[in-house]
Amino acid sequence: MTSYERFSNALARKPVDMLPVCISPWGATVERWKREGHIAEGEDVAEHFGQDLRMAGWLNSCANLDFQPVVIEETEETILTLDGNGATLRRHKLHDSTPEHVDFVVKDRKGWAEHIKPHLMHTDRRRIDFEGYRNAKRFAAERQRFFAWCGLAPFEQIHPVCGHENMLMGMALDPDWVKDMVMTYADFTIRHLEVLFAEEGKPDAMFFYEDMGFKNKPFMSPSMYAEIVQPGHKKLFDYSHDLGCKVIVHSCGYVEPLVPGLIEAGMDCLQAMEVKAGMDMPKLFELFGDKIAFFGGIDVRVLIANDRAAIDEELERKIVPVVKGGGGYILHSDHSEPPEVDHETMHYFIDRGREIAKKAATEAGLMIN
């Protein structure tokens, strides 16, 4: 099977010849592997590991594209800036991390209406990475890789504007305001994607990033999700399905209570399933395996430990029930891979994952030769 066929079958919960694979090493991880001589300068890391998926797209959702970021404070390790969303954020300069939320101009409906929404009501071609999308799509076609547009969905577009605290307080105290933000960003995304796809062609799938949980709890209740966020998701997912594209949703944190609503909105595949946050793929498969495919769910901490016995145990526990149960699965860790992960460990993870899956599928009579 080609990568395209393999990935398509996994998303459709159909048999494959071997598991499709995706990796997400940090930039610092790739630099380490280069220093050690495993990756050549300029080498495509995804191709190095035989990744079946190619992604590109990523709209620029910053509200005011003409605003020049202002450096407020800078040290050897961090930089504090005011950006075009009116957000004051502190970022680390020496390693990859989520920026610290310091302050926001937008804290309520009035701030949103004055400072952000007017910038999002019209199409601006500067927000679209035509060249990056075009090149990645061509690359995928030449190598018969599966190709997905990837980018942010409303929850991930809103918090850079007002911060998680103001957004979540808004859900409780002014839900119509947050719903307006959700629907504005959904419309904003579709409007720009219509331009991109009209000129460069549609992808095979849509990959939406939407981190809606933290440890052991989602950021909102299922009822709040249904009332406020789901309408925007449904609009985006319906648009994707109308194009003939499957919908993959990435969500870090504990989001199990939100999965039924995501499925109702049209999600075809759940990605990440962060173990340390409380997500458990075998349980999720038992609950939802007849409705969606799964992507990830392997505890990245066993990769960080570079312990092959622990990797085997984790792969056996997570993959075998899904594969034997006839589910769709794409091999990936439950997070991006930090610099502690050895190059040899990544190869072992991929090879053993495929071996274990092939054995389980063969025993269940589900493997394509």
Task: Check pLDDT > 80 for residue 140.
Answer: yes
Both tokens assigned to 213: 């949980």
| Per-residue pLDDT, 52 | 98
Residue 368 predicted with pLDDT over 80: no
189 φ/ψ angles, rounded to the nearest 5 degrees: -65, -50
Q: Identify how many contiguous H helices and E strands the chain contains and give both numbers.
A: 14, 13
Going by C-beta distance under 8 Å and a sequence separation of 6 or more, which residues neighbour residue 127? 59, 60, 61, 65, 192
Query: pLDDT digit string (tens) for 196-238?
Result: 999 999 999 999 999 999 999 999 999 999 999 999 999 999 9
Tokens of 279: 């997500």
Q: Report residue 173's pLDDT band, with 50, 70 and 90 as the boundaries.
A: very high
Q: Rounded to an integer, what distance in angstroms lies between the CA atom of residue 254 and that of residue 82? A: 30
Higher confidence at residue 369 or residue 326? 326
- What is the four-CA torsion angle of 166, 172, 178, 179, rounded to 10 degrees? 170
Residue 98 has pLDDT above 90, yes or no: no
Please state the pTM of the whole predicted model: 0.96
**pLDDT value of residue 280:** 97
- Confidence tier at 117 by pLDDT (50, 70, 90): very high
Please write the tens of the pLDDT for every residue from 101-110: 899 999 999 9
Q: What is the structure's pLDDT at 365?
A: 84
pLDDT digits (tens, 9 = 90+) for 236-262: 999 999 999 999 999 999 999 999 999
pLDDT value at residue 121: 97
User: Dihedral angle at the C-alpha atoms of 315, 318, 324, 330, nearest 10 degrees?
Assistant: -80
**In the prediction, which pLDDT does 369 show?**
61
- pLDDT digit string (tens) for 343-360? 999 999 999 999 999 999
Residue 296, CA atoms < 13 Å, CB-side half-sphere = 24
